[in-house]
Amino acid sequence: MIMEDSDVPKKNDEKCPLCRADRYLNPNMKLLINPECYHKMCESCVDRIFTTGPAACPTPGCGKILRKAKFREQTFEDAQIEREIDIRRRIAKIFNKGQQDFESLQEYNDYLEEVENLTFKLIYQVDVEETETKVQQYEKQNRESIALNSARAAAESRLLAQNEILLRKQKQEARDAAVREHEMERERREQVEQQIIHDLATSGKDPNKIVKLTETLKKHREKNDSPQPISSRSSALYPDLQKLAQRRLREEQVPFSPLAGERNTSKYYDYSIENYNDPFMDKIAREPNRSIGFRVEDCHLRCLYEAFSGLDFDLTKDKLPAKNDPNVQKATMSTS
C-alpha cells in the first residue's frame, strides 16, 4: 500500500543538508526533493535558491539544473524507492500496450521482457543515454497508439469507478429494503395479534377456527408482498456496468491455486506407494540424516510429473488437446 505524504514518518533529527536546520528547532520544516536528482533540501532553501528561476543543484557533485515547480515532498523514506517508483510510472505511461495488441502470448511476453530490461537499466543507471534514446524513439514512433491506449485505460478506470459506485448504491438499497421489510413484517404481526385478540373478545366463534383463518390470511399477504429484486432496475439503466460486474464475479469465483495446480491429481497416471516397491529409495529413507522431512512419495511424484509434464503442449497448434483424444492414454505405476 502506498503511503500518503502525511503518513511518512517524520524524524526529529532530520536536517537540511544545506542550511543544517533540523525539525527539533523547526517542527514545521518540510524537506523537498526534485525528481531530477532526488537530493533533499528544506522549503526555505528551495525558495531562496530557485525563486528567481532555474538553477544548478547545490549538492556537491550534482550540478543538474532544477526548477522550483518540480519540487515536492517525499512519499517514501528511501529516496531509491522514490526514484524507482517514478521511473516505473513514467515507463508504464509510454509502454502501455496490452495483450490484446499482440497476435500471440509469446509476442506479448517478449514485449514485457523488453520493457522490464529498459526499466532495470534506468533504475540502476546502466547505459542510461542509450536507454533514454530507445525510450524517446519508441515514444515518438508510437505516439498515436500511446494516446489511444491511455484513453482506453482511462475509460476502463472510469467504468470501474462507476461500477463501484453502482455496487455500493445497490448494497445500500438492499439494506434499506431489508429494514423496510423488517418494519412492515413487525407491523403485520402486530396487526394480526390485535385482530386475533379482537375477534376472540367480540365474536362467539370457535377460537381455533379464528386462529387458523388468521394464519391463512397472513401467509396470503406475505406471498403477495414479496419484494422484487433491486438489481433489475440497475441492470436496465447500466447494461455495460452490469456486464462488467458479472464478468468480475465470474473471475472471482475461479478457485485460487497457489501452486498453479501442481498438486492436482493427474489424468495420465495413478500413484500409490503401496503397490510400488523401490528398495533403493527405501534404503535412503532409513538413513538417519534423512529421517526428518524426507518422503519417498515426493521423489516418485516428481519423476512422474517431469515425465508427463509436456504431453498437453502442441507446438504446431499452440493449444491443449481435447479430453477425449484417443492418443492420450492413462498410465498406471505398478509393481515392476
pLDDT of residue 6: 45
Residue 325 lies inside a defined structural domain of this protein: no
Residue 242 sits in the same domain as residue 157? yes
pLDDT band at 21 (very low <50, low <70, confident <90, very high): confident
Residue 163 sits in the same domain as residue 235? yes
Residue 244 sits in the same domain as residue 289? no
3-state helix, strand, coil in the chain (%, to 5): 55, 5, 40
d(CA 66, CA 53) in angstroms, rounded, equals 9
The arithmetic mean of pLDDT across residues 251-273, rounded, is 63
Residue 153 lies inside a defined structural domain of this protein: yes
For 122-162, what is each residue's pLDDT tens digit?
A: 999 889 899 999 999 999 999 888 999 888 888 888 988 89
Residue 249 sits in the same domain as residue 170? yes
d(CA 200, CA 172) in angstroms, rounded, equals 42
Residue 270 lies inside a defined structural domain of this protein: yes
Q: In the numeric block, which cell numbers belong to residue 217?
A: 390470511
User: Which residues, other chains included, contact 181 with Cβ-Cβ below 8 Å and sequence gap of 6+?
Assistant: 227
Residue 39 sits in the same domain as residue 117? no
Residue 324 lies inside a defined structural domain of this protein: no
Residue 181 sits in the same domain as residue 152? yes
Q: From the CA atom positions of the chain, what is the Rg in Å? A: 35
pLDDT of residue 134: 92
CATH (domain of 48) = 3.30.40.10
Q: The domain containing residue 277 runs over which residues? A: 262-306
Residue 169 sits in the same domain as residue 236? yes
Residue 30 lies inside a defined structural domain of this protein: yes
> Could you give phi then psi for residue 332, rounded to 5 degrees?
-120, 125
Query: Is the distance from CB of 83 to CB of 72 less than 8 angstroms?
Result: no
Q: Is the pLDDT of residue 328 over 50?
A: no
Residue 173 sits in the same domain as residue 217? yes
- Strands 31-33 and 72-73 come out as antiparallel
Q: Is the dihedral of CA 210, 213, 219, 221 positive or negative?
A: negative
pLDDT of residue 331: 45
Domain count, the chain: 4
User: Which residues, other chains included, contact 322 with Cβ-Cβ below 8 Å and sequence gap of 6+?
Assistant: none
Q: Is the dihedral of CA 62, 67, 70, 73 positive or negative?
A: positive
Considering only CA atoms, which of 85, 43, 93 is closest in space to residue 68? 43
Residue 319 lies inside a defined structural domain of this protein: no
Distance of CA 95 to the CA centre of its chain: 20
pLDDT band at 79 (very low <50, low <70, confident <90, very high): confident
Residue 318 lies inside a defined structural domain of this protein: no
254 class by beta-carbon count within 10 Å (0-12 exposed, 13-18 middle, 19+ buried): exposed
For 23-39, what is each residue's pLDDT tens digit?
A: 888 888 888 999 888 89
Residue 151 sits in the same domain as residue 246? yes
